[in-house]
């Protein structure tokens, strides 16, 4: 719930004018729900939705946004399972995966978020054990998708966002990020025979993004607070592309 309509329009105009189209780099902007009908995708930015209701496509769900409504706005990419939805709106992993599966079945591309809380990182005193506990937690969040059809998996992007790093200004060390991201992608690919991209989110900014994007298994970023300033976001995009 950041930025007014006027502030959002200014940010969108600046990004649209400044981003250089790149064949290997897509910029997706998850627009606040009230403004979804205001902005349209162009050759530099793909407009996407931060949330949606599923599995129902219509009905008496006051305050919710259906996939059919998003489709009518030419939205084809959605976010599911962000830690804030899980924490503040009690969306369980089961609910998240149900929503995500319905969205891909309806032809949407889904950025599916996963990540461990701080207490998981503190189970063991040594670094290697902590990494393994975090990996186990994250993989269990996404494990059910290995049963999905290949056509559905091809519409999934995994966003690894360690919960304790979101909005805190603290990021895992590069070795930890690379370990989790590469292992998650490798395990999913081994189980499904589908290459599912894994991107990173969690206090990713203009300073650290270049190093993060250079890691094995990192295919982009899910940017939070740093995306609210055009100059900062443009530097992150440049680091990615």
As a whole number of angstroms, the longest Cα–Cα distance in the chain is 51
Contact between 226 and 204 under an 8 Å Cβ cutoff? The reply is yes
State yes or no: cis peptide before 25, omega within 30 of 0: no
Rounded distance between C-alpha atoms, residue 195 and residue 180, angstroms: 16
Going 54 to 59 to 61 to 63, the CA torsion angle's sign is positive
Active site residues: 82, 161
Measured CA distances, 69 to 66, 93, 104, 161 (Å): 5, 24, 15, 28
Q: Which two tokens stand for residue 53?
A: 């209701």
């Amino acid at each position: 719930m950041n930025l007014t309509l006027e502030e959002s329009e200014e940010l969108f105009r600046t990004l649209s004018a400044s981003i250089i189209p790149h064949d290997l780099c897509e910029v997706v902007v998850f627009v606040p729900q009230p403004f979804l009908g205001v902005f349209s995708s162009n050759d530099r930015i793909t407009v996407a939705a931060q949330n949606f209701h599923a599995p129902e496509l219509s009905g008496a769900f006051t305050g919710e946004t259906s996939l059919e409504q998003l489709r009518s706005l030419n939205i084809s990419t959605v976010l599911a399972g962000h830690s804030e939805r899980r924490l503040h709106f009690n969306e369980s992993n089961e609910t998240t995966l149900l929503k995500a599966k319905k969205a891909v079945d309806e032809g949407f591309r889904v950025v599916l978020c996963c990540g461990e809380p701080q207490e998981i990182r503190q189970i063991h005193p040594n670094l290697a054990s902590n990494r393994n506990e975090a990996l186990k937690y994250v993989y269990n969040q996404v494990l059910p998708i290995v049963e999905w059809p290949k056509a559905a998996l091809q519409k999934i992007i995994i966003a690894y966002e360690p919960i304790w790093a979101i909005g805190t200004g603290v990021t895992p060390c590069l070795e930890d990020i690379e370990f989790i991201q590469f292992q998650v992608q490798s395990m999913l690919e081994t189980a499904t025979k589908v290459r599912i991209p894994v991107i990173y989110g969690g206090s990713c900014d203009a300073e650290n993004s270049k190093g993060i994007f250079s890691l094995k298994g990192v295919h982009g970023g899910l940017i939070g607070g740093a995306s609210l300033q055009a100059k900062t976001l443009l530097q992150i995009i440049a680091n990615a592309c």
